[in-house]
Chains A and B, each alone.
Chain A
């Protein structure tokens, strides 16, 4: 953990709200990205992000300074998301991760070819089991480490690796079957 973060945490512990705001600013992207990929809804993800930081500040005294801060933070975020998932009942996750729906990212400026590829990747993601999808996106899109994903999803690193490998394999197979790679030189 960098000295800057350590100092920021010390100031937060002293009740410095400016430091708290700085800590949120520093990590809200990571936390929100994780929550969004676990929950699939922007509003839910924002609520979970807010709850995560509230928990973090209330539990900051119990935080072990010898550990990295980010995995601890993401583990809390993962717990919040799992609580959300278990409490909301049977709301379907959005079919599309980008595009023009209510829950989705709007106005993607990709050219037609890229937009097509994104759609195929989204379709491939839709075919995956939930845990494969989450693990894959957290690793490849959110660029979390396997250890961080394990903390966030509450499972061993070996399991996360297996999920990511299977997700990759299944999605690559999907893309090959869909003929997306025919244009790609061999």
Chain B
């Protein structure tokens, strides 16, 4: 028995609430190994000391306290109030979440453009001319045009490459590609969608808008 096995044995004995004196194997190794002998002696002392620890007595009136409390109706009312408050809080949180989703979710439209461009095998040599004319849904033409114009303007001003141009991110964070629906792109699409909606309304009222 080596020291490691001996320690495993001592744990096994104590886990089963056995006596340290009742195991001849423990004693044999302890006679040969000063380190384990010291551990055995200090463990004995430790357990002797633990047996001397006291816990204060529990309130002898505990049963009365519990039954008195059980008979008190206010606590139940307050528990009921807590539940109502919890449900109200959840409902409010859900309403806020829904509102936030309505505000921040981009209207449908540009997503097909992104899917198209993600499949591009090469960085586009045509700059932002990724969105092919054939990809336009005629009904969304004006809104998509706005998206395209917005992106062209942004890139020409900032020089920021995006997924739409097919160029890699300059940040070098390959594990975190730009999210087409998030961040500035999502905002752009959201704004463009709203703008497109306005154009649609104008088109209904005044005929096709001039580009």
Answer whether residue B102 sits at the interface, using C-beta atoms and an 8 A cutoff.
no
Within 8 A of A (CB), among B24-38: 37-38
Answer whether residue B83 sits at the interface, using C-beta atoms and an 8 A cutoff.
no
Closest CB-CB distance, A49 to chain B, in whole Å?
6
Point out the residues of chain A lying under 8 angstroms from B70, CB to CB.
Answer: 17, 20, 54, 57
Answer whether residue B65 sits at the interface, using C-beta atoms and an 8 A cutoff.
yes
CA–CA, A161 and B16, complex, Å: 11
Point out the residues of chain B lying under 8 angstroms from A165, CB to CB.
Answer: 11
Point out the residues of chain A lying under 8 angstroms from B67, CB to CB.
Answer: 17, 20-21, 24
Answer whether residue B63 sits at the interface, using C-beta atoms and an 8 A cutoff.
yes
Flag if B66 contacts A53 (CB, 8 Å): yes
Q: A21-B67, A141-B55 are in contact. List 6 more A-B contacts (CB 8 A).
A: A28-B63, A46-B62, A54-B69, A98-B54, A137-B53, A168-B43
From A105, A121, A143, A164, residue with most partner B Cβ within 10 Å: A121
Q: Which of A37, A108, A161, A169 has a CB less than 8 Å from the CB of B15? A: A161
Point out the residues of chain B lying under 8 angstroms from A54, CB to CB.
Answer: 66, 69-70
Flag if B64 contacts A118 (CB, 8 Å): no
Flag if B43 contacts A172 (CB, 8 Å): yes
Q: Which of B7, B15, B38, B55 has a CB less than 8 Å from the CB of A105? A: B55
Point out the residues of chain A lying under 8 angstroms from B43, CB to CB.
Answer: 168, 172
Chain B interface extent, by class = 20 to 34
Closest CB-CB distance, A178 to chain B, in whole Å?
9
Answer whether residue B47 sits at the interface, using C-beta atoms and an 8 A cutoff.
yes
Flag if A57 contacts B41 (CB, 8 Å): no
Answer whether residue A65 sits at the interface, using C-beta atoms and an 8 A cutoff.
no
Flag if A108 contacts B54 (CB, 8 Å): yes
Point out the residues of chain A lying under 8 angstroms from B45, CB to CB.
Answer: 117, 175, 180-181, 184
Point out the residues of chain A lying under 8 angstroms from B15, CB to CB.
Answer: 146, 161, 164
Closest CB-CB distance, B147 to chain A, in whole Å?
49
Answer whether residue A186 sits at the interface, using C-beta atoms and an 8 A cutoff.
yes
Flag if B52 contacts A176 (CB, 8 Å): no
Point out the residues of chain A lying under 8 angstroms from B54, CB to CB.
Answer: 97-98, 105, 108
Flag if B37 contacts A186 (CB, 8 Å): yes
CA–CA, A140 and B17, complex, Å: 9
Answer whether residue B137 sits at the interface, using C-beta atoms and an 8 A cutoff.
no
Flag if B69 contacts A180 (CB, 8 Å): no
Q: Which partner residue on chain B sits nearest A20 by CB separation?
A: B67
Closest CB-CB distance, B148 to chain A, in whole Å?
53
CA–CA, A146 and B16, complex, Å: 10
Q: Which of A20, A105, A117, A186 has a CB less than 8 Å from the CB of B49? A: A117
Contact with B along A56-72 (1 / 0, CB 8 A): 01000000000000000
Q: Which partner residue on chain A sits nearest B58 by CB separation?
A: A32
With A168-B43, A175-B45 known as contacts, the answer to whether A97 contacts B53 (CB < 8 A) is: yes
Answer whether residue A114 sits at the interface, using C-beta atoms and an 8 A cutoff.
yes
Answer whether residue A25 sits at the interface, using C-beta atoms and an 8 A cutoff.
yes
Flag if B58 contacts A49 (CB, 8 Å): yes
CA–CA, A45 and B45, complex, Å: 28
Q: Which partner residue on chain B sits nearest A175 by CB separation?
A: B42
CA–CA, A122 and B15, complex, Å: 21
With A117-B48, A172-B39 known as contacts, the answer to whether A24 contacts B66 (CB < 8 A) is: yes
Q: Which partner residue on chain A sits nearest B64 by CB separation?
A: A21
Closest CB-CB distance, B21 to chain A, in whole Å?
13
6 contacts between A and B (CB under 8 A): A49-B62, A97-B53, A121-B49, A164-B15, A168-B43, A186-B38
Q: Which of B7, B41, B46, B62 has a CB less than 8 Å from the CB of A186? A: B41
Point out the residues of chain B lying under 8 angstroms from A20, CB to CB.
Answer: 63, 66-67, 70
